[in-house]
Amino acid sequence: MTRVIPQAGIDLLGRQAEVVVNDGDEPLSAERLQEEARRSDAVLTLLTDGVDADLLRSGDRLKCICNVAVGFDNIDVPAATAAGIAVTNTPGVLTDTTADFAFALLMAIARRVVEGDRYARAGRYTGWGIQLLLGADITGATLGIVGMGRIGQGMAKRAAGFDMTILYSDEVRQPPERERELNARYVDLDELFAVSDFVSLHTPLTPETRHLVSWERLNTMKPTACIINTSRGPVINEPELARALREGRIAGAALDVFENEPAIYSDLLDLENVILTPHIASASVATRTRMATMAAENCLALLAGERPPNILNPEVLESPQFRRRFELTGASA
């Protein structure tokens, strides 16, 4: 286990396996992670652990990487498959918690909640003002959802309660019946960015989505529009976003994820019209606990020779490389 996770996950694994936990404050270095992976049957990783081809090629014992996250861009899944190693994630359990947070960010940036808090704390509130901290209306506004997966759909459900017009863009179009249920209209990215009052990103990070939000794209948005990112930082080109915010090309941004976490592009720190949160969209007690137990369940299933409920590369289970790992070293669960 590369970091301490909620105790329920540690306990579940500990009943059937010898668990080694990095209980330090820092993530493991690439070398330590590789070293630990060589002597483990399974590694429970967090999204801050880079699992690359080098690590996956080293040693014969490792049989699975269980990410305690729904996103898995930190893991080279094709390299894992080639090496005969299963990869699992934790989908579904964080959908509502993350959509709640994305909607909270939308409301907070629209109505300048965090800016208002800073203003009040700084002792600047010296009298009610009819022009003070005017924001944008949410009710009736147009929301553009980039990526209509589970969390994108959760966002659409919340937006419906605010009578928003809902547009979405994705590689895959939802069936007409689902579009009707969500009251969402499928549009291309150009239209979505051009007409939305709020753009919320819910796409995985892939080569296609890296820097999807660029200077060019930002300049097609309304100057009154805001962008919300609870997906992955590199979907936005951060320096270009900072420039767009500084020059008033768009009105605001609320970011829970960053291009080079935990670093935040320094220009963003100086801007009033941006909300910055430390990758906490799924951070409720219940959800983080369930993510931990789900990763443990995936791990125990795999080591018991069963198909893990959330395997990302199921084809690996049939591969000779995968079987060889069990033949060589057995499993401890």
- Across the strands, what pairs with 144? 167, 199
**The one among 1, 94, 250, 251 contacting ligand GLV by CB under 6 A:** 94
Interaction of residue 282 with ligand GLV, rule CB under 6 A: yes
**Binding map of ligand GLV across residues 24-63, x = CB under 6 A, - = no contact:** -----------------------x----------------
d(CA 93, CA 95) in angstroms, rounded, equals 6
- Least CB distance to ligand GLV at residue 230 (A): 8
Taking the CA atoms of the chain, what radius of gyration do you get in angstroms? 22
- Which lies closer to ligand GLV via its Cβ, residue 70 or residue 302? 70
d(CA 199, CA 228) in angstroms, rounded, equals 6
Kindly state the number of chain residues that form the binding site for ligand GLV, as judged by CB under 6 A.
6
**Binding map of ligand GLV across residues 112-131, x = CB under 6 A, - = no contact:** --------------------
- Least CB distance to ligand GLV at residue 149 (A): 12
Q: How many CB atoms lie within 10 A of CB 220?
A: 15
Stretch that binds ligand GLV, among 66-74, 102-110, 186-194, 245-253 (CB under 6 A): 66-74
Active site residue 232: yes
Output the CA–CA distances (angstroms, integers) from residue 65 to 33, 58, 294, 312, in the order listed. Answer: 12, 13, 13, 10
Residues 160-189 that bind ligand GLV (CB under 6 A): none
- Catalytic-labelled residue, pool 158, 232, 290, 325: 232
- Least CB distance to ligand GLV at residue 299 (A): 16
Interaction of residue 255 with ligand GLV, rule CB under 6 A: no
Stretch that binds ligand GLV, among 68-76, 266-274, 306-314, 316-324 (CB under 6 A): 68-76
d(CA 316, CA 295) in angstroms, rounded, equals 18
The residue to which tokens 């940036």 are assigned:
109
- Rama region for 311: left / alpha / beta (φ>0; ψ in -120 to 50; rest): beta
**The one among 55, 69, 102, 212 contacting ligand GLV by CB under 6 A:** 69
- Which lies closer to ligand GLV via its Cβ, residue 229 or residue 282? 282
Q: How many residues does the chain have?
A: 333
In this structure, which amino acid lies at residue 316?
Answer: V
Core vs surface per residue 203-218: b (16+ CB within 10 A) or e: bebeeebeebbeeebb
Cis ω on the peptide bond leading into residue 314 (within 30° of 0)? no
- Least CB distance to ligand GLV at residue 268 (A): 19
Q: Can you point out the beta strands (E) in the chain?
A: 42-45, 64-67, 86-88, 142-146, 165-169, 184-186, 198-201, 226-229, 252-255, 274-276
- Which lies closer to ligand GLV via its Cβ, residue 146 or residue 225? 146
- Which lies closer to ligand GLV via its Cβ, residue 6 or residue 84? 6
Interaction of residue 71 with ligand GLV, rule CB under 6 A: yes
Interaction of residue 70 with ligand GLV, rule CB under 6 A: yes
Active site residue 211: no
- Which lies closer to ligand GLV via its Cβ, residue 94 or residue 275? 94
Stretch that binds ligand GLV, among 33-41, 64-72, 152-160, 188-196 (CB under 6 A): 64-72
Can you say how many angstroms the Cα of residue 20 is from the centroid of all Cα atoms in its chain?
A: 26
- Least CB distance to ligand GLV at residue 330 (A): 31
**Rounded to 5 degrees, what are φ and ψ at 286?**
-65, -40
User: What tokens were used for 276?
Assistant: 């910055």
Contact residues toward ligand GLV (CB under 6 A) are 47, 69-71, 94, 282
Catalytic residue numbers read 232, 261, 279
